[in-house]
Structure 1
Amino acid sequence: MVDVLVIGSGGAGLSAALAAKEAGASVLVIGKMYPTNSQTSMAQGGMNAALGNVNEDHVSLHIQDTVKSAHGLCDEDMVRQMCADAPQTVEWLERIGVPFSRLDNDKKGIGTVAQRQMGGASAKRACYAQDYTGLKILHTLYDTCLKEGIAFLDEHYLLNLIVPDDTIKGATFLDIRSGEIKQIDAKSVVIATGGYGSIYHGFTTNMYGATGDGVAAVLRAGGAVSDMEFIQFHPTALKHSCILISESARGEGGYLVNEAGERFVDELKPRDEVARAIFSQMKEGQRVFLDVRHLGEEKLMELLPQEMALCKMHEHVDPASDLIPIKPVAHYSMGGIDVDYALEVNGIKGCFAAGECSNAKVHGANRLGGNSLLEITTFGRFAGENAFKHAVYASSKPVDGTQRLKDEAEIKTLFAQEDSESFYTYREILGELFYEKVGIVRENGQLNEALEEVIAMQVAQKKMGISDKSRTNNQNLVEFLEFRNTLLLAPAIISAAIARDESRGAHFKVGFETENEAFRKHIVLQWKRETQ
């Protein structure tokens, strides 16, 4: 039995694993893909920390900006902890080798960490590594885990948590390569499986695998989820591919313009305001572009080399000389697994959650750009430390194989199930449905229509199955399981959006265009736990 089982091998999971290992725990990290493929690698712009290297800044200002962006739905104690820990987190990342971009202001040629402006920030606060910040952090964390001898099981898909008597005892997994169902016993568990943005399939910056697997597993196991209606739409994704163009492009001085070449919004306002401004232009029939031509090719190649390559590859435009066609798409899940001050899942003892899957109440109604990389490392480490503390006093008595046998029977049923209707078609329909009716601007009539359509899809799910009947390396099976998770979470998102009759941050509702003090609260959903 392992002390700390970490489910998810992105930035939050790796940070948790390192912290637990440093504390003296035996640690196993399990992921459905390889660590370097995680969503963390797609975070480009930077990581907030009030270092004051470029202009005057202070932790209190970082807290103030985060609280303001959250529109009253954050827990200020958690925000204060995250922001106060930020400088130490950057120092730790530097110490283990993250190559942050630097200012050329040191006689020894070393320089201090460079910082750039992000939307909603009152100072240049985001530490960055060109526009590969998340990638550099992820690779460094993974390298450090390997140096520390942390064990990994890659290509293992989370099926269910094992939760007898309200306390976590491990989890079950599908070994994707062999097709075997495995049970991993653990004294404590950290869930770091990422968000659920891929429910907006075809209209999101997220990878296909961001299907809320950990959130769905917690819900099935009797844990609580909260604020599921709050999904952030990033203002600048490439129009045709939905690939993210980082906020750093606007932070470095990029403009947003319509077809007439007019700037129509302050580019450095919070993301929800900028996204709605772009959406409004599109509703009027205007195409919208990001203009960075005035920055010059030399500066673009120095600061935004990845953005340059992505634009050329996917839109066939050269940002140094051409306008970049963009649109807002789903980007980040503010809601997720409901946790307490120790990041322990409400409803499941010994189970902790960190990163985008976790609702630690720091992002509220609208995440501040640059705070996601900060959260995954700061709270990832915090979750790992707390998981170890729980493991010290947890029972090492093995649990029976009831959940594993259930999962084996269910997977066997899926192989036998007729696939008269393709779930891939429904995945496309669900993505478009959510973008159109549970998107940037919402309306109760459309939300109710969306809920009815989702319920119809759940009924139709009985006719869906897998066409690939091979037991090994069956991606068709994995994608079906992922689709089932998104279909499970969809009503929770829509129901919470219907219940919130106001506009607050990323949730904007027609007919209720202002904030209502009566809704300054969290919408929490929890199922009755099945006996395991």
Structure 2
Amino acid sequence: MIDVLIIGGGGAGLSAALAAAENGAKVTVLGKTYPTRSQTSMAQGGINAALGNVGEDSVEAHIADTLKSAHTLGDEVMIRKLCEKAPDAINWLDSIGTPFSRLEDGKVAQRKLGGASGKRACYAQDYTGLKILHTLYDAALKADITFLNEYFLLNFIVEENRVLGVTAIEMKSGEVKAIGAKSVIIASGGYCGLYRGFTTNSTAITGDGVAAAIRAGCVLSDMEFIQFHPTALKNSGILIGESARGEGGYLVNSKGERFVDELKPRDVVAKAIWEQIESGEEVFIDIRHLGEAFIEESLPQEHKLAKLYEGIDPVTDLIPIKPVAHYTMGGIDVDHNHQTKVEGLFAAGECANAYVHGANRLGGNSLLETIVFGREAGENAAKFARENSEVKVASSEQFEKDRNFVAAIPQFTNQIDFYEKRDFMGKIFYRNAGIIRNEMGLKGVLAAIRQMQKELPFMGIADKSKEYNTNLLEFIEFGNMVELAEVVLVGAIGRNESRGAHQREDFPNEDNEKFGGVHSLSWKEQGVLCNEFRGMK
């Protein structure tokens, strides 16, 4: 019997797995890709910790910067915990072999990212997430943690508000499996896939864990808050990390003018770039003045990506960029122990809302959250497993329902091409539920999404095979995306103000009297979406 089943093998999932194993749990990690392909690998800039290796810094300053960036939507208890545990997180990562960039005295190097009051982000060139991820995976393999790769999560098996395991499709056979566990941790990533074609995220990031959570009885919170990274390559949307600006890169328009402080918080910088583009300007990052030797040493990934995807050399050329969807601040609502409303079901990383990012995540805090809160979730799930008896799930009602659903999909009429609808959703989300929003645009997108929900039975698949049927899996992903899209839009329509990453041109100011410290909560009752705004729990 599995003690702790973890959904997702990225930074949060692997951190949770290692912590649970250290606490004596029998751990299995389930993922639809291999861990080394997780979204964590795309994080470039750094991981925050108040070490003070480069200039003065303090935990209190880290807490203050995070609270300020959250725009009243941060929980100071959780933020304090995150920031206080950051130095230990870096020491732990260092102890298991993370190859951080170093200062001449051997200490971990640090750089300044947007919204920070000092040089706080520890980094490994501009491959920080990738290096951390590979180190965690190596450690997990050494710890004999079991991996079920290429398993697609369908739903959580829940009885009497207790999680008993999951249902999932084994990709190589196409069979639906029921996998029992004493406790489950969701670490499946965010839902920026809604902005398909306009996101830094991989195509695998479709919100499957978040969608399954609301179906299982969990509450989702603050889903309208999506962070738009200011600097993605213009044509591909591939990330040019904050490291480029943190190391001294300039943002300039077509006239060569610098129009914003490059190290302002991401919401401010993204909005400034969007306004330049809307006025007819092109926008670029200029790192030419940093010199070829420095670029090769500190920004090698940005150098390669610009050459590969834009056909320009940033040593001599400007890098054309645009802001795109990057990170989801909202997610599965969790308590201070990282447990959801469902007993034994925990969540950590980008899929969870632990109230540390609020309306606008501070750059460098996402990797930190995956480590600190991933490990806490692992410890708490292991404790839950020790204190609760094992359960049997092979013939659960959820398993039968999901097996019948998967078997029925090939019989759908396939009158409508869901791939076209998926691309269309990405475009209208970016345009009307993106950096700048208004009620008319949001309601128009919501109407389109609800029409897609009605049309799903007419959006079948062409591939009727069972083994590695990506057509079928992408159809299920699209269903999850459509389900979450409604949640995002209802929250965005209801929040009649501008706050952090949520910018309403029809309500351009923060309304602290009505929305200060107020979160949007969404859940389902008999399959119907419910939503309300409520003050800090």
Q: What TM-score, normalized by structure 1, do the two folds share?
A: 0.98
Q: What code does the residue aligned with 2:298 have?
A: L
The count of aligned residue pairs is: 524
Contiguous gaps of at least 5 residues in structure 1: 106-110
Which of 148, 151, 176 is residue 153 of structure 1 equivalent to? 148
Quick check: 1:220–1:529 contact (8 Å CA) kept in 2? no
Q: Give a deviation string over 1:386-408, Cα, whole Å, max 9, x none.
A: 00111111121323422111111
Could you say which residue in structure 1 is the equivalent of 2:534? none
Could you say which residue in structure 2 is the equivalent of 1:377? 371
Q: What code does the residue aligned with 2:318 have?
A: L
Could you say which residue in structure 2 is the equivalent of 1:519? 515
Correspondence 1:425 to 2:459: no
Any idea what SS the aligned residue of 1:12 has? helix
Mapped to 2, the partners of 1:87 and 1:312 lie a distance apart of 36
Aligned pairs for 1:201-350 within 5 A: 201-346=196-341, 348-350=342-344
Which of 452, 466, 488 is residue 493 of structure 1 equivalent to? 488
Could you say which residue in structure 2 is the equivalent of 1:108? none
Structure 1's consecutive aligned runs of 4 or more residues displaced over 3 angstroms after TM superposition are none
Is 317-326 or 510-519 further displaced after alignment?
510-519
Correspondence 1:78 to 2:78: yes
Quick check: 1:7–1:31 contact (8 Å CA) kept in 2? yes
More strand per residue:
2
Quick check: 2:125–2:300 contact (8 Å CA) kept in 1? yes
Q: Give a deviation string over 1:41-65, Cα, whole Å, max 9, x none.
A: 0000100000000010000000000
Q: What TM-score, normalized by structure 2, do the two folds share?
A: 0.97
Correspondence 1:528 to 2:522: no
Q: Give a deviation string over 1:234-253, Cα, whole Å, max 9, x none.
A: 00000000000000100000
Correspondence 1:389 to 2:386: no
Mapped to 2, the partners of 1:281 and 1:73 lie a distance apart of 29
Mapped to 2, the partners of 1:420 and 1:85 lie a distance apart of 53
Mapped to 2, the partners of 1:527 and 1:445 lie a distance apart of 25
Could you say which residue in structure 1 is the equivalent of 2:353? 359
Q: What code does the residue aligned with 2:525 have?
A: K
Q: Give a deviation string over 1:195-221, Cα, whole Å, max 9, x none.
A: 000100000000011111010001111
Which of 469, 477, 482 is residue 482 of structure 1 equivalent to? 477
Aligned pairs for 1:166-177 within 5 A: 166-177=161-172
Quick check: 2:226–2:327 contact (8 Å CA) kept in 1? yes
How high is the sequence identity, in percent, across the aligned residues? 59
Mapped to 1, the partners of 2:210 and 2:328 lie a distance apart of 11
User: What is the RMSD computed on CA atoms of the aligned residues?
Assistant: 0.8
Q: What code does the residue aligned with 2:524 have?
A: W
Contiguous gaps of at least 5 residues in structure 2: 528-537
Mapped to 2, the partners of 1:386 and 1:524 lie a distance apart of 24
Quick check: 1:169–1:186 contact (8 Å CA) kept in 2? yes
Quick check: 1:17–1:145 contact (8 Å CA) kept in 2? yes
Mapped to 2, the partners of 1:165 and 1:463 lie a distance apart of 34
Residue 528 of structure 1, CA deviation: 2.1
Q: What code does the residue aligned with 2:343 have?
A: K
Correspondence 1:368 to 2:365: no
Residue 525 of structure 1, CA deviation: 0.6
Q: Give a deviation string over 1:130-176, Cα, whole Å, max 9, x none.
A: 00000000000000000010000000000000010001000000001
Q: Give a deviation string over 1:465-505, Cα, whole Å, max 9, x none.
A: 11111100111111111111000000100000000001000
Q: What code does the residue aligned with 1:154 have?
A: N
Could you say which residue in structure 2 is the equivalent of 1:88? 88
Mapped to 2, the partners of 1:264 and 1:426 lie a distance apart of 37
Residue 510 of structure 1, CA deviation: 1.1
Quick check: 1:25–1:388 contact (8 Å CA) kept in 2? yes
Mapped to 2, the partners of 1:529 and 1:457 lie a distance apart of 20
Q: Give a deviation string over 1:50-103, Cα, whole Å, max 9, x none.
A: 000001000000000000000010100000000000000000000000000000
Quick check: 2:114–2:266 contact (8 Å CA) kept in 1? yes
Could you say which residue in structure 1 is the equivalent of 2:9? 9
Residue 457 of structure 1, CA deviation: 1.3
Mapped to 2, the partners of 1:162 and 1:401 lie a distance apart of 8
Residue 529 of structure 1, CA deviation: 5.8
